[in-house]
Amino acid sequence: MLPLLGLIIGLVIGLMLNVQIPDAWSVYIAITILSGLDSLLGGLEAALRKRFSNVLFITGFLLNTGAALALTALGQQINFDMSLVAVIAFGIRIFKNLGLIRRYIVQRMQRRAQEARQSSK
């Protein structure tokens, strides 16, 4: 819940400040946002399954972001858009985590409904 609250606060502050990002940085900012979203959803999925670890969350975010930024920087140097590798990888992981979160929530709702039906009998 804390990462989600941080995301919301960050979005509100970012929208209120209206900071202009230089064009040269836009790819790096986009990759960092994808990395953050991937980590946030992965952390939420782990929290729902009661397997969340602050250390894994922070190190995963830093490692994923660092690797994605390094690939992007290397791609900029050789004039080849290697940020697409990170976009595809994070995209797959984001949708996978969304699916796992959805499945967990639906199963929990079904379990509660079944328990309510059994207790009313």
Q: Model confidence over 13-37: pLDDT tens digits? A: 988 988 788 998 999 999 999 998 9
The pTM of this model reads 0.77
Q: Model confidence over 36-66: pLDDT tens digits? A: 899 989 999 999 999 999 999 999 999 999 9
Per the CB < 8 A criterion, the answer to whether 16 and 72 are in contact is no
- Spans of all domains in the chain: 23-120
What pLDDT does 8 receive? 87
